[in-house]
Each structure stands twice: as structure tokens, then as C-alpha cells.
Chains A and B, each alone.
Chain A
């Protein structure tokens, strides 16, 4: 049955999966049963009573109160069971435990920013300890987004007008995918992130090191770290592959053709401007989907990124 489980549902990464999945499979069974019942009766009647076939038909009743009560009351009983089952799971997802670790989430077109209790911030990369409830308090800077982690079975809209929250407890170390599920425009389908579930010790170490902030690293290596931590890799490849944005390979120092026909040289100032004010110069053939990293990256980090891009020959 594992192949069937994997065919229809994502892997199970949180405690909610154990609440949602049994109900899901019950409903799959119920759907199969009633579909086969209806299809079977249709098929049987068509074969047996099709026009011109010699069969004793007699006079069938035009209604039957007992039968009609049965086929009203049995579905009624079933849906009441389903309602309470679904309600049970929903309520436990609605109330975070008091000792939950709280992380702030800021959503904006088209990235996810996380702020940890220590003040550390990351982009598109949420790191949480395994086996500990985590509560996310979320707000949007522009339109409505939705925080969806399929393998955790959680989803919550992120509103620009007030905080919403969602919580989960990851059951084992691993990497999970975060997606935006409220349509938010051009970059909606690129508003992705990862959730890394690590052991409590690793989490603490990571937090203590400032999220691997790269203190003491040479600029180009720090740049590589930022390239992954801040989700640049989602849109900019290193091997020349075309993604949502231009590849970094062989970019530095070369002329770049912009929308509108001008050409600029990809020097330090061009890259800096593209990070802080991405809409200023759009590379020909690409969509203006990049969010600004103003306020997210400091001068040292921007410089490190430029050094990293220089190395991508």
C-alpha cells in the first residue's frame, strides 16, 4: 500500500500528517465505494433493462418512503462523522502549544523572510529544530500570500492587514518545501522556500553562529553562503542554465542587453543596483520579478555577493 500512499500524498513531515492522512484515506475509500455503487447500478440497469431486451419489467414503484429515508439518513450520519473528524484535526492545528518556539514571517512579492528570536534574519530558508513545536507569526508587506508546506499538511493565508499564525512540529530531520498558495502575481510560482529540520543542537549552533553569517570568511565564500541562504539560487543559476533570472556564469564585466535596447557593463555598481533596486534595469528577455533586498543585506554582504559573482567565470 506504500506505493498508493506515495502516489496520492506527499511525505509526512509533521505531527499533523498523522491526523490529516487517516481522514484523507477514509474519504478516498468512501469515494471509491459510492462511485462504484453508482457506476455499478447504472451499468447493471443499462445491461439488464436496455431497450429491446427481453426481460420481465413489471411495474416499479415511483417512490418508496423507507428506501428514501435510508438513502438520506445514511449519508447524513456519514457526513456528521466526517465533520467531527475534520473539526478535530483543525482545532488542534489552530491552537499552538504554549511552549512553542516563535519565529516571525514577513511575506512580500516574491520572497519569504524569517526573523528568529535572536534577531537573525534569513530569506526563503527556514531552519527549525526537530520535535519541537514552532509557531510562525506572519504578516505580508503587500498582497495576500499563503504559507503552504505540503509535507507538513499546513497552510495559512498571510494578510497585509493583521497577523495570522500557524504552528507545526516536525517529526524528523530533513528538508521540506515551502510554497505560496495565494495567487500574488507575476512571481507567484517562484515564491518558494525550503524548511530545514535539524537536531536541537545543530539548530542552536546555527543560531549561535549568526545563521552561519560567515564572520571571518573570505568575501567570495561568504557570497556563496548568501547565494543559498537568501534564495538567489532559485532564479539565478551558476552553470548558465536559464531560470527566472539571468545566470551568474560569465556575467561579470560583460555587456548586458537591457529591455529597451541599451547595453550596460555588468560591473560592481550594476550588480549593486540590481540587488537593491531590481526594477531599474531589466535584462532583455526576462520579466521584472525580482524583489528588492534593500534592508535585507548590508554593505559587507552585498560586496561578498559581488565577489562571488566575479568568480563565476
Chain B
């Protein structure tokens, strides 16, 4: 029996089959066929009263987010895992076991769905400067150039949407997320597509299609970026 003190809690990273091996620094809290991947944390760091301030500490947040990802990533390609969102902290292990029991049906469905599959992320970016245009010498030429730019942007958006349809057709699950604004990405290009796909591991077929789409749309100023394989963050809910 592991005893806890009031000053600690249990951070739960995700849910795995109970016969999985826990990464270093974590424990498996089992209940039936499933187990929560958990680690003891100090409430001086994760307590309700201090967490809001911590979340505004970029360095702290980056460190904890990377730990969360590293723990879940260790299961990718090994056993299925259901990621929990950052910040699931329980007072004691009985509460963790209660979570497993109460959400058993959900975890069973999702674990089966993501078994042998990985999540790949695809983003499409528009860089208007990659589309060559003549310099505008007159007001009329400037207006025409602006019209051309707007038309090109619409075309690029259509191309990105068509690319998503092609990629989704190869995937067993697809999630279209809201493109991130420039303030968040810190990039000059405009994000037109921010999607995630659930594909059989290792995801080579989708990767090849992303490369093909990228080649076909490069002249329109589009570039495609592939990331992953990720734990199935975007497919942790049953309805997706």
C-alpha cells in the first residue's frame, strides 16, 4: 500500500492496458484490464492555489508539457494509450481507481480504436511571397495585384481543404482543428490547415500523400508540414 500525505497528489498522464510497462518515474494504478499511468506530484507545485500562476510561467509550463508528452510518447508503437488532458490530479490512489472504474467503457472503446495506430499532424502554410507577381507601378496595377492576391489566397484555401479531404480518405479518423494565428505560431506564413489523422502505424502512406500534395501545391505558395507520430491526443474521445 502506498501512502500519501496531504502535500502530494497523483498526476495521471493517460490510460493503458494493465499489462503495459510504466516509464521511469511513473507507476501503473490498475483496475481490471486498464491502468492509469500516474506519478506523485507536490501540491506545492500543482495545487489549485498555485497552478494558475504556474501556467503563466512559460519555462515551468514547457518543462511539464514535455514531461507529459514524453511519458505518453513512450507507449507509441508499443501499447495503445489514451491521453488525458494536462492537469488531471487526484488526491489519492483510490480516486484514480474510481476514475478507471467509472470510465471503463470509454477507455475500452478508445484503446481498441487506437490500437496499432498513431496520430499524425499536418499543417498547411501559405506564403504569398512565394507566388511571383510583377511590381505595381500605378494605382490600377496595385488594385489588380491586390485582387490577384486575394484570389490566390482563396485558391490556396481551397487547395488546403482539398488536401484535407485526400488525407482524411486515407485515415481511420480525421480532426480538423482551427488554424493557429500568427501571434501563436510566430511565423510570417498563414496557417490554412491544422489537422490530425489517425492512421495505422507507422503512417507511411499518409506521409507519402502529404509529400505528393506538397509538390502539387507548391506553385500556389503552399507548404505542408507533417509531425508525429503522436499519442492519439485528438482521438481520445469516443465520438471522433
Do these two chains interact? no
